[in-house]
């Protein structure tokens, strides 16, 4: 099942996506819901963020080639994470599918995409086990962890580098039926494919993270966990369109503009 | 004016605190509101978190003596922050005044308090100036940035060290009328005063942080900014009561229990 959240005459509303149709529901996938008799065309509605997370988690460095690339960019030795230490991103930076990434006027040219699988939590849970961890996931969406690389070197906390307004596109919707092992992530800049990788080839997988996290923290419905990106990333500039496609989920597409241009 | 949020027969409700009385309102201090004709005793209600923040910001190291102490504890050289780089904490860890800090069974004895001033944002804002920054603050509350020091050394992201469930007491309420320069923070463990410091003696002040943050991020009503703590901190153990008092705001008091005891 595919859940979109859209602007219904000014009211954020969840709907079930079936082909090119969206069926608005009363309620939400995180609680009780039932279908209305309405039918809308997906192309006729403005998609919103599929969820506004209570807490926005991010694995950060979680793919071997990307760890190597990132270390080299920052002039640091390469070392793979040894524990699934979850990190955080901030809600101010979230934008929906179709909205523009806005590069601040004082950013360098080193503003880069990172295409990521996102797990959307469906229930309150703690002390998950390897056996039941995935049952806490209500569905899957796509994130683009946009990063300004010079700020990433300078910031003690990555606040500007990662959480500048518009730097966290997420969407287009939440897909509940996903086989993790068969997913492929493809990233395209202005239609040109830059990288394709097996989404599940993580240093620590979704189950590793959820089990480790819930040893000491409670997850809540709507929390999101961004799982990291693979390989080399490139600069985006004013006028570009960046797309992150994950097979079986969809394509997150965003324009890029630079302030003052 | 003093705003509390309390459990009104199962419904989180804002009220104005006047002496030992609380007057429930319709609405909230972040939007339109008006007083009801009810009057309750503060001691008769269960206080809730004064706000559930959309984004939970924390300055981290922001007082000279505490930076020195923290560096020595972690075996690192002492260096004061050179920029107001804001950090983050997580909502799962928040508890209200009067609720227990629960130390996990596998934590060491090095679980310590950090008493902090908290700025509560009242309006959507970006690009604040030194002149208008404080007008974005709706009021002030108190936080206790509980930290497990051995995890703080080990975690790449401080997720366990700082964001274990119950490690972020905040309250008891929001005070709107505060003179920053005259505030004094006092921390008491089981009634014994451990430290008293001038709350506003920060490396970077509230205005510095709000101006810097809003160069690249939008603040929203209800966002909170925890401003850091001063000096030496000590261990808390099962059965303790930890109090953080800030003059003119109030006292945040929490019990401490260890899992399995």
Residue bearing the bigger pLDDT, A75 or A179: A179
Are B64 and B141 in the same domain? Answer: yes
Contacts of B126 in chain A (CB under 8 A): 165
Q: How confident is the model at residue A28 (pLDDT cuts 50, 70, 90)?
A: very high
Q: Are residues A65 and A99 in the same domain?
A: yes
What would the DSSP string read from start to end of B208-222? HHHHHHTTT--B-TT
Q: What is the CATH number of the domain that holds A63?
A: 3.90.850.10
Statement to judge: residues A109 and A17 lie in one domain: no
Give the integer Cα–Cα distance in Å for B74 and B80: 15
- B14-50 pLDDT per residue, tens: 999 999 999 999 999 999 999 999 999 999 999 999 9
**Which of A51, A55, A89 should we substitute to test contact with B (largest number of B Cβ atoms within 10 Å)?**
A55
**Are A120 and A220 within 8 A, CB to CB?**
no
Summarize the confidence of residues B120-128 as an average pLDDT.
98
What is the value of pTM for the model shown?
0.95
Q: Which tokens go with B43?
A: 């001691």
Q: What pLDDT does B193 receive? A: 97
Residue B74: pLDDT over 80:
no
A22 and A125, same domain (yes or no) = no
Question: What CATH code is carried by the domain that includes residue B39?
Answer: 2.30.30.370
Q: From chain B, pick out residues whose CB is under 8 angstroms from the CB of A168.
A: none
The answer on pLDDT for B75 being more than 90 is no
Average pLDDT, chain A: 96
% of residues, chain A, pLDDT over 90: 88
Mean local confidence (pLDDT), A149-174: 94
SS3 state at A30: coil
Interface test with A, best of B70, B80, B92 (most A CBs within 10 A): B92
A250: helix, strand or coil = strand
Average pLDDT over residues A65-93: 88
Nearest neighbour of B156 by CB, restricted to A81, A92, A154: A81
Could you say which residues from 7 to 36 on chain A have a Cβ atom under 8 Å away from some Cβ of chain B? none
How many residues comprise chain B? 261
- State yes or no: pLDDT of A74 exceeds 90: no
Cβ distance of B92 and A55 shorter than 8 Å: yes
CB pair distance less than 8 Å for B160 and A93: no
**Domain co-membership, A55 together with A146:** yes
pLDDT confidence of B92, banded at 50, 70, 90? very high
Let me know whether B10 and B105 are in one domain. Answer: no
| pLDDT exceeds cutoff 90 at B249 | yes
Task: Say which DSSP state B235 is in.
Answer: B
How many Å lie between the alpha carbon of B247 and the closest alpha carbon of chain A?
A: 30
Domain boundary among A17, A33, A48: A48
User: Mind listing the pLDDT tens digit for each residue in A210-240?
Assistant: 999 999 999 999 999 999 999 889 999 999 9
B168 pLDDT above the threshold of 90: yes
Same domain, B187 and B233: yes
- Exposed, middle or buried: residue B19 (CB in 10 Å: 0-12, 13-18, 19+)? exposed
Q: Does A217 contact B60 at a Cβ distance shorter than 8 Å?
A: no
Domain match, A85 and A209 both: yes
Q: What is the pLDDT of residue A77?
A: 86
Q: How many domains does chain B have?
A: 2
Domain edge (last residue) among A29, A48, A67 = A48
pLDDT at B79 over 90: no
What does residue A242 show for φ and ψ, rounded to 5 degrees? -110, 130
Residues β-bridged to residue A115: A144
A93-103 as b/e: b if 16+ CB within 10 A:
bbbbbebebbb
| Domain extent at residue A73 | 49-258
Q: Which of the four pLDDT bands, split at 50, 70 and 90, describes residue B231? A: confident
State the first-to-last Cα distance of chain B, in angstroms, to the nearest integer.
Answer: 41
| pLDDT for residue A81 | 87
Instruction: Locate the chain B residue with the closest alpha carbon to A91.
Output: B55
């Amino acid at each position: 099942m595919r859940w979109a959240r859209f602007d219904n005459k000014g009211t954020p509303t969840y709907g079930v996506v079936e082909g090119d149709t969206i069926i608005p529901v009363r309620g939400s996938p995180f609680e009780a819901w039932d279908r209305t008799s309405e039918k809308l065309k997906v192309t006729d509605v403005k998609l919103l963020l599929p969820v506004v997370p209570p807490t926005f988690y991010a694995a950060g460095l979680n793919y071997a080639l990307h760890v190597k690339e990132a270390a080299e960019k920052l002039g640091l030795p390469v070392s793979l994470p040894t524990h699934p230490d979850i990190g955080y991103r901030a809600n101010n930076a979230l934008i929906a599918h179709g909205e523009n990434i806005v590069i601040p006027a004082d950013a360098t040219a080193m503003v880069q995409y990172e295409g990521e699988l996102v797990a959307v939590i469906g229930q309150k849970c703690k002390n998950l086990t390897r056996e039941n961890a995935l049952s806490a996931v209500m569905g899957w969406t796509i994130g683009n962890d946009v990063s300004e690389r010079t700020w990433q070197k300078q910031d003690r906390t990555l606040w500007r580098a990662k959480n500048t307004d518009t730097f966290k596109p997420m969407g287009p919707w939440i897909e509940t039926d996903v086989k993790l092992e068969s997913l492929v992530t493809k990233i395209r800049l202005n239609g040109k494919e830059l990288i394709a990788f097996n989404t599940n080839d993580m240093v620590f997988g979704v189950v590793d993270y959820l089990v480790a996290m819930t040893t000491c923290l409670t997850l809540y419905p709507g929390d999101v966990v961004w799982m990291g990106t693979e390989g080399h990333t490139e600069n985006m500039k004013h006028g570009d369109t960046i797309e992150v496609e994950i097979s079986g989920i969809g394509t997150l597409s965003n324009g890029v503009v630079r302030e003052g241009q």
